[in-house]
Amino acid sequence: MRQIVSAQSSFSWHHISAFTLLFVAVGTVVVMVSRASGSVAAIEPETGTLSNCAVASANADASGGHVVTFSTCATPTPVPTVSPPPSANGCILAEPIGSGITAYSSLSGSTFSARSNSAPTANTVSLAATTHSFSDFTDAVAGVQAGASITGSGLVGSGTDRSIIQMTPSSSTKAASVPTGAGTTNQLYLMAFTKSGVRLDCFTLAGTNQGHLYNGIRLSQVTGAVMSNLKLIGTSPGNSYIPPGETFAINDYRGTNNTYTNVEIDGQGTGATAFGSNSSTGGVWTDDYAHDHPYSAGIALWQMSGTMTLTRFKSVNNRVGINLERVNGTVNITQPTLIGNTAHDLFIGNDQGSTKVNIYDPILSPGQKIRVHNAGLEQGNPNLQVLSDIKVFVNGVDTTASMIVYN
């Protein structure tokens, strides 16, 4: 119980160092006070709380005691604590602020691209929890036509499923730009990014009906891009595993060591390829999830070099789990989930050499083996892939012979 000494109580006292020890004349409570200019700070005996509400003055009589008056003994107002905003899936569920960040709401421009690109190029643009729209594939950049071409340091939203970016439905006037010739590539993209080190974080890119095939995100000759905590939904409507019907939710074109963490790509049963990396070097994919792309692959690497690292990559209900073509380097795949892919878990073809593939502790359905398709030809040329360069390890033991079946 908190004990408060009533006003005009009489005390006798003794000096102890810089303090005066006062004894209550009518009770057993002992308080210690510091005498300075008449004001005293009383330390309550039960709680040890220091109170600044006491004033000491000498008795007028000859007792030698002091009177301590408590003018106001209200409990001090505690310092308010500031709770951090809630978070989910690696994202703070509030519009990001801080150094190096410019709020989209503070910018001006007639289109999503113009408004975003009016920020200082060194700054990331933050997006509030709302839907941000643009129309048509109007921006020409690096050989493609994009709905939004962002030249700055990136975009960071207020949370996946809260900050949504999309093209206004049926706003495209570029249906005639969709190629029809065999082997020709669809160059229509919802968004394009060209700055090395670009950061894309905590938002959803949603596909909409445009009446034709198109792609999602294009990284054009970018080094060190960081893509994390993203969701792409229906952003690669396609109809084949080869061009022009092969489209990409993300296409890393001639990039170097770009990273993808906690990115989910939902093909919604219409997608071609989820993650694509073409003529690039390196790359790291961690805790990513590609699903429901019936026409092509969860991830397709083409004409790559260096070391590619996939960790806990989930490829589920796609045509092909992992597609490797002309990969002249090493692909390390740790704890992949390869379930429900209709054609192959791994497709591999290389007319330029042999790809080193190491698969560690795969996650499969009960009794499932990894179905590997080693193509007879690659780009019309003999496939030079050496089967012994494809290995599977379980708990550190080479289990290639028992874990792989070729189809």
The answer to whether residue 4 sits within a structural domain is no
Determine the structural domain holding residue 17 and report its residue range: 9-70
The answer to whether residue 249 sits within a structural domain is yes
Looking at residue 34, its pLDDT comes to 43
pLDDT, one tens digit for every residue, the chain (407 residues):
333 443 344 444 444 334 444 444 333 344 444 444 444 455 544 455 555 555 555 555 555 555 555 455 556 667 666 666 677 778 987 788 889 999 999 999 999 999 999 999 999 999 999 999 999 999 999 999 999 999 999 999 999 999 999 999 999 999 999 999 999 999 999 999 999 999 999 999 999 999 999 999 999 999 999 999 999 999 999 999 999 999 999 999 999 999 999 999 999 999 999 999 999 999 999 999 999 999 999 999 999 999 999 999 999 999 999 999 999 999 999 999 999 999 999 999 999 999 999 999 999 999 999 999 999 999 999 999 999 999 999 999 999 999 999 99
Say yes or no: 290 and 384 in one domain. yes
Say yes or no: 211 and 317 in one domain. yes
C-alpha span between 231 and 264 (Å, rounded)? 5
**Residue 378 bridge partners (DSSP):** 381
Say yes or no: 243 and 296 in one domain. yes
C-alpha span between 406 and 394 (Å, rounded)? 19
DSSP assignment of 11-63, as one string? EEEEEETTEEEEEESSSS-EEEEEEETTEEEEE-TTT--EEEEEEEEE-SSTT
Tokens 């190629």 locate to 179
Looking at residue 125, its pLDDT comes to 97
The answer to whether residue 334 sits within a structural domain is yes
Q: Which residues, in sequence order, are CB contacts of 333 under 8 Å at separation 6+?
A: 310, 313, 322, 357, 358, 359, 360, 362
The answer to whether residue 92 sits within a structural domain is yes
Say yes or no: 209 and 345 in one domain. yes
The answer to whether residue 351 sits within a structural domain is yes
Going from the C-alpha of 201 to that of each of 49, 98, 225, 229, 270, the distances in angstroms are 47, 15, 11, 6, 25
What type of residue is 309? T
The answer to whether residue 231 sits within a structural domain is yes
Q: What is the CATH number of the domain that holds 324?
A: 2.160.20
Going from the C-alpha of 272 to that of each of 210, 290, 318, the distances in angstroms are 16, 11, 9
Provide the 3-class DSSP secondary structure of residue 372. Answer: strand
Say yes or no: 49 and 175 in one domain. no
Say yes or no: 203 and 131 in one domain. yes
Looking at residue 13, its pLDDT comes to 42
What type of residue is 270? T
Going from the C-alpha of 113 to that of each of 143, 151, 172, the distances in angstroms are 17, 9, 16
The answer to whether residue 370 sits within a structural domain is yes
Helices (H), ranges, 304-374: none
Structural tokens at position 20 = 């005066």
Give the Cα-Cα-Cα angle 326, 331, 336 (nearest 5 degrees): 120
C-alpha span between 243 and 247 (Å, rounded)? 8
Going from the C-alpha of 381 to that of each of 309, 317, 324, 377, the distances in angstroms are 27, 30, 16, 5
Tokens 């939004």 locate to 148
Answer yes or no: are the C-beta atoms of 209 and 169 closer than 8 Å.
yes
C-alpha span between 322 and 362 (Å, rounded)? 13
Q: What are phi and psi of 106, to 5 degrees?
A: -90, -5
| CA 323 to chain centroid | 25
HEC string of 378-394 equals ECCEECCCCHHHEEEEE
Q: What are phi and psi of 66, to 5 degrees?
A: -125, 155
Say yes or no: 19 and 106 in one domain. no
Say yes or no: 96 and 63 in one domain. no
Answer yes or no: are the C-beta atoms of 347 and 379 closer than 8 Å.
no
The domain total for the chain is: 2
Say yes or no: 63 and 96 in one domain. no
C-alpha span between 350 and 389 (Å, rounded)? 12
The answer to whether residue 77 sits within a structural domain is no
Torsion of CA 383, 384, 387, 391, to 10 degrees: -110
Looking at residue 174, its pLDDT comes to 98
Q: What are phi and psi of 387, to 5 degrees?
A: -60, -35
Q: Where are the strands (E) in 59-163, listed by range?
A: 66-70, 87-88, 91-92, 101-103, 124-126, 131-134, 139-141, 144-150, 154-156
Q: Of the candidates 17, 38, 70, which is a domain's last residue?
A: 70
Structural tokens at position 343 = 């054609």
Say yes or no: 57 and 157 in one domain. no
Say yes or no: 315 and 274 in one domain. yes
Say yes or no: 50 and 93 in one domain. no
